[in-house]
Structure 1
Amino acid sequence: MTVQATMTKRRKESPSTSRVDELPAHILRSIFNRLRFNDLVQAKSVCCSWNLLGDELTSKMPWLMLPSKKQVEEDDGIKVNNNGYHGFLNLKENRLYSLKTAPKEFSECCCIGSSHGWLVFLQEKAVPFLFNPFKQLRIELPSVDRQLGLEKMDIICHRNHLYALSDKNSIEVWDLHIGGNHVKKKSDFVFAFPDKSLAKEKSFRDVCTSGFYLVESCGDLLFVVRFIGDYVDWDGTLLHEQDHLTQDSNHPKVCPYRTFLFHVYKMDFKELKWVEMDTLGDRALFLGRNQLASVSTRCFLNCEKDCIYFSDDCWERIDEDYLYGGHDMGIYNLKDGSLKPVFEFSSDKIQPQPCWVIPDPAMFES
């Protein structure tokens, strides 16, 4: 029986004769895990227990929020300006679901990130609010400084300490236990920038920039370094300026800037140093304007293990040219160093920039 037929049958039955909502939870979960997204959304309307489980499963999926593919490609970046988000990429099905009617928040406000399934928007006069796109819930927040939402300094709470990226390529640590209601910087507890990444930065100084992230994964503190080439072939090969200028028509297309490499380190708290990781095991990382997340691929079955899913968060370059910006997204395999697209546009100007929407990973750890 199809989901639609089940719904029709359920409406005709009286509450006293229906047995739909008495189906054992483990059987219902097994069935729901096999449904396509559209069927799952329809199934949520059958009864309360189906709705609760449907909410859990739809919020469990990582989504990539995207603007209209048609408008982006037709305008080729020239007229694309705050046209809003119009769809969500479902990684489980590798399918884009378009919104028939997009919430006004998507076109009237600026999305500056996401956290635990909620989007963070700025409206006029830099007034922020939270918005849940799947439940259509909105929470107003106090005003903030206009520049706050456009600056990137990662900070994370780990083991009752705050770890923050500093301007000197190091990690500062603030103790939450000292000083009563105040936090205190531990001046003798600053982690140096990893030597390998520092050497790589110096060797690429004139042809790339770097991004830095702090992520908690399975109780460990991870430091991720992202290398973004000014000019990179589609296969991920970094080009120097002279290579770009001497290209002929037979060469692969060159993107203005593109991520080509990641380094990942784990903090050794006994030795107080960063230890390089050559594999993430069964974990996957999500990096971008979203909350930085490490998820278990045993729970997020649609995610590839040992991979980094990334989107464009190069704020200082996104709006420097109408021909490109927002395009730098993909999937990087840490073990073999390979890159592949997560979703492709024919234009290099994607506005607004794609953004990951991910629930709280801790809710689904195994």
Structure 2
Amino acid sequence: MKKSLLAASVAALLLSQLGMAATQLDSEKYPIQIEKVTDGLSHPWGMAVMPDGGLLVTERSGNLRIISTSGQVSDPIKGLPAVRAYGQGGLLDVQLDPDFASNQWVYFSFSEPLNDGKESSTAVARAKLNGDSLSELEIIFRANPKLDSPYHFGSRLVFDRQGNLFITLGDRGSRRQDAQTLDTHHGKVVRISKNGDIPKDNPYINQDNALDEIWSLGHRNMQGAALHPQTGELWTHEHGPQGGDEINIARATKNYGWPVITYGEEYGGGKIGTTSQDGLEQPLYYWVPSIAPSGMMFYSGKLFDNWQGNLLVGSLKFSQLVRLELDGDKVIHEERMDIGQRVRDVEQGPDGTLYLLTDQPDGQLLKLTPAK
């Protein structure tokens, strides 16, 4: 084992043994200090940075909380809609309006129940955040059809440069073929306006057999998405089955192949389709075996200046933060840093600090800075 990998493994062991007291992790370019900001979070899933540097954090169990810069955790924010928290569903991603400082709009995705909670689908709501409560709540998107399935809800929320909202959606597990059709939202990236209207330049708005919200198709379960800081294009990653996690640039009308093409296989073995086919997009990058990616961002801060422009991805399966160096649209180097806990989301603070959410019943918010 290389010295750097050994050091990372030892650091990860220390993290788990010390209950996340501040400790140091040696990466390729920096010694990194990891501090526990707070714990006691119930499977935290998504976070958004507030204007004062605090974080708005979702718990998959159905709570939305504010965590201050000092680590103080608020009581649950009042006024959320009904959430069906089961399996992979619950309260999922959260995003602030680009004009949040003046309008207070908050957007969040969740598994919305139907028929006495027996069925659900990914929905997106917006509401105004006033202190410890939400007001003017409205559902601006509902994925159709709703199913009795606890799997593959997606979903990340990303505003584009025009102020429209991208929503990433999973195939719901039992309906994988839906990812190849244009009459359901399953396995799609969709794009709506801030109030839920359809942008006039959406690619399928004038196609009778397609849902107007659809942007791209052929996805399995996208739990990471970020806007490229130079090109403004939407980059996504998605879970493969057993292997075949993918990074893609989600472009209008493009078909990313699931389940016709994949580099993964059925759980327990067994072929799924093939690895390539004319007319279907190849992934920009993929992992075999699967790392179970979740959360993704382009780093732009000054604290880790040698990481600027790098893509940072959380790994659930291997409890890592994965750093990818890019040359244009190509991944030219990968580094894996052992965190010791399942990493659900990654976000950058105003000063360049990195924040990680860990996916567990006693979930934690971790703070990463260069060690002095």
Q: TM-score range by the shorter chain?
A: 0.3 to 0.5
More strand by share: 2
Rg larger in 1 or in 2? 1
Q: TM-score, normalised by structure 2?
A: 0.41
* Larger RCO, structures 1/2 (Cα 8 Å, 6+ apart): 1
- Is the helix fraction higher in 1 or 2? 1
